[in-house]
Amino acid sequence: MTQKQLLRRDIIKICKKECLRYKLSSNYTSMLLQGGRSLVKFMQEKNANDYTPDVGLEFRIYVHGIRTKKYADEISRVIDMLNSFIDSKLFVFQKQTPKYFPGIFGQYVVEYIEYLKTETNLKMSSIKIYEHSLSMFSQKMHHAGVDLETISLEHLLNFFSSLQNMKQENVKNVKNFLRYMKDHGIIKHDLLLDYIRPTRYIKEKVPSYYAKEEVLQIENSVNRHSTKGKRDYAMLLLASRLGLRSADIRNLKFSDIDWDRNEIHIRQIKTQKEVILPLLEDVGVSLIDYIRNARPQTSLKEIFVSFTPPYRVITSATFSTMVAKYVFKSGIKCDGKHHGSHTLRHSLATNLLGSNVSVPTISSILGHSTTESTKKYLTINLSSLLNCSHDVPSVEDNFYKQEGGVFYV
């Protein structure tokens, strides 16, 4: 066997052992273990039992294609750790994942980056962006076995087809790099330069959303018999049924809930606007189930906390990962769609519109100050607008039950 390797089943065990040995912080350990689990899942889907640096390279390309740069860098950092462990039986820790420029294109990328540093007036921040774009480009070409003679428009279209690589700056940076290679006689294919137009590969940002049935599948994928499931289910319903933002859910306090009136009173963190929402029965029941039967005993004012001491308020990363987990677990088709908590907020707005709820009412539910803000969230068609362009319906006086409401036992 030409490459050193690790068995897939040993990856998580090695990560845990090394994290303990180096006494890493809980956050750093969590990040590495999350990366390790993502890698193991990736290998399972690829039927790869042995980890090698080539498998790591393929995983790195994969996560940069479906995740944001920051998140992908954090997740793929475990690759550098495992590669160093294969070589020396030790983890090597670096604050940032080093840029990797493999293959024949990588050689010219290094030359081009040096050219940008010495012959142009670009800021270092701009050069760093070039390094990231061209690192992913050289890795993709190397992994696909593409060289100077065989590179084609099809290879470039394949590279630009992933979500992260479709960004205009990435297309522009690769285009400038190829122009540099053409000007220096390294490649001859004018077709590549003529047809790489950033606007051709930039997708219009159409917000992702899931249908009512799909949202129910996501909700039903939670195991509500476990303590963690009780917490997660309550948080999911606040996003899917009331459209609350991640920050407002994570910072929801006991004092924000008026059990007598069956209302939630919050000041939105993003807009600082005060919003009053009805405490829907399913939402209220899920909150009570979590508070009574699953929430740890802690003096924190926030409702949702971690399960291991020292107890902390749920972080944004934890919440986003939790939502994504249940989206994938539900089995719904989410190819090309976002799978974070904000997608549930947008799904609520879109599904309300489809049920002929007026845009002003939807704006009120989402806590927007104007309907213009709401329209950015909605995949609106003319027929839906015509159907729901009526006055906001009045709410009857007995809409809310007062003392002895449905949430009192």
Q: CA 296, CA 286: separation in Å to the nearest integer?
A: 16
Spatial contact of 276 and 263, defined as CB atoms under 8 Å apart: yes
Same domain, 194 and 231: no
Q: How confident is the model at residue 1 (pLDDT cuts 50, 70, 90)?
A: very low
Domain count, the chain: 3
In a domain, 282, yes or no: yes
Q: CA 66, CA 178: separation in Å to the nearest integer?
A: 24
Same domain, 216 and 197: no
Q: Give me the mean pLDDT over the 8-21 stretch.
A: 86
Residue type, 115: Y
Whether 255 shows a pLDDT value over 80: the answer reads yes
* pTM, entire model: 0.46
Q: Which of 77, 241, 342, 346 is catalytic?
A: 342
Q: Give me the mean pLDDT over the 116-123 stretch.
A: 86
Q: CA 165, CA 157: separation in Å to the nearest integer?
A: 10
Of the candidates 208, 122, 100, the one whose C-alpha atom is nearest the C-alpha of residue 172 is 122
Same domain, 255 and 192: no
CATH number at residue 219: 1.10.443.10
pLDDT number for residue 279: 93
In a domain, 375, yes or no: yes
Q: CA 229, CA 207: separation in Å to the nearest integer?
A: 28
Give the up-direction half-sphere exposure of residue 355: CA atoms within 13 A in the CB hemisphere. Answer: 11
Of the candidates 217, 271, 218, 263, the one whose C-alpha atom is nearest the C-alpha of residue 242 is 263
Same domain, 241 and 342: yes
Q: Which of 200, 267, 270, 390 is catalytic?
A: 270
Show the CA angle centred on residue 340, arms to residues 80 and 244, nearest 5°. Answer: 140
In a domain, 70, yes or no: yes
pLDDT number for residue 117: 86
Q: Which residue has the higher pLDDT, 404 or 15?
A: 15
Q: What share of the chain is helix, strand, coil (3-state, %, to 5)?
A: 60, 5, 35
Token pair 């809980």 is found at: 26
**Tokens linked to 388:** 């729901």
Q: Minimum mean pLDDT among 36-40, 89-93, 263-267: which range?
A: 89-93
Same domain, 219 and 197: no
Q: Over the stretch 150-172, which tens digit does the pLDDT of each residue have?
A: 887 777 777 766 545 456 677 78
Q: Which of 245, 250, 339, 346 is catalytic?
A: 245
Instruction: Name residue 264's beta-bridge partners.
Output: 257, 277
Q: Which residue has the higher pLDDT, 387 or 12?
A: 12
Active site (annotated) includes residue 342: yes
Q: Which of 61, 88, 115 is the last residue of a domain?
A: 88
Q: Tell me the torsion sign for CA atoms 289, 295, 300, 302.
A: negative
Q: What is the DSSP string of 72-95?
A: HHHHHHHHHHHHHHHHHSS----S
**Greatest mean pLDDT among 3-7, 185-189, 397-401:** 185-189
**Tokens linked to 168:** 């205009």
Q: How confident is the model at residue 285 (pLDDT cuts 50, 70, 90)?
A: very high
In a domain, 206, yes or no: no
In a domain, 84, yes or no: yes
Same domain, 168 and 237: no
Same domain, 236 and 312: yes
Token pair 């800021």 is found at: 123
Residue 328 DSSP SS3? helix
Q: Which of 167, 250, 346, 368 is catalytic?
A: 368
Residue type, 264: I
Same domain, 262 and 334: yes
Q: Which residue has the higher pLDDT, 340 or 13?
A: 13
Whether 257 shows a pLDDT value over 90: the answer reads yes
Q: Which residue has the higher pLDDT, 231 or 42?
A: 231
Same domain, 110 and 83: no
**Tokens linked to 188:** 């001859």
**% pLDDT > 70, the chain:** 68
Active site (annotated) includes residue 270: yes
Q: Which residue has the higher pLDDT, 23 or 64?
A: 23
Q: Give me the mean pLDDT over the 341-363 stretch.
A: 69
Same domain, 193 and 251: no
Whether 242 shows a pLDDT value over 60: the answer reads yes
Q: How confident is the model at residue 258 (pLDDT cuts 50, 70, 90)?
A: very high
Active site (annotated) includes residue 265: no
In a domain, 409, yes or no: no
Q: CA 335, CA 187: separation in Å to the nearest integer?
A: 35
In a domain, 406, yes or no: no
CATH number at residue 135: 1.10.150.130
Neighbours of 214 (CB within 10 A): 19
Whether 103 shows a pLDDT value over 50: the answer reads yes
Domain residue limits at 67: 6-88
State the average pLDDT for the chain: 77
Q: Which of 37, 58, 88 is the last residue of a domain?
A: 88
Instruction: Name residue 257's beta-bridge partners.
Output: 264
Q: Give me the mean pLDDT over the 245-267 stretch.
A: 92
Q: Which of 64, 250, 339, 345 is catalytic?
A: 345
Q: Which residue has the higher pLDDT, 279 or 93?
A: 279
Whether 138 shows a pLDDT value over 70: the answer reads yes
Active site (annotated) includes residue 368: yes
Q: Which of 51, 233, 290, 377 is catalytic?
A: 377
Same domain, 84 and 117: no
Neighbours of 285 (CB within 10 A): 15
In a domain, 1, yes or no: no
Helical pair 69-88 and 53-66, crossing angle rounded to 10 deg:
170
Of the candidates 2, 145, 30, the one whose C-alpha atom is nearest the C-alpha of residue 86 is 2
Q: How confident is the model at residue 284 (pLDDT cuts 50, 70, 90)?
A: very high
Q: Which of 181, 201, 221 is the last residue of a domain?
A: 201
201: CB partners within 8 A, 6+ apart? 157, 160, 161, 166, 171
Same domain, 51 and 113: no
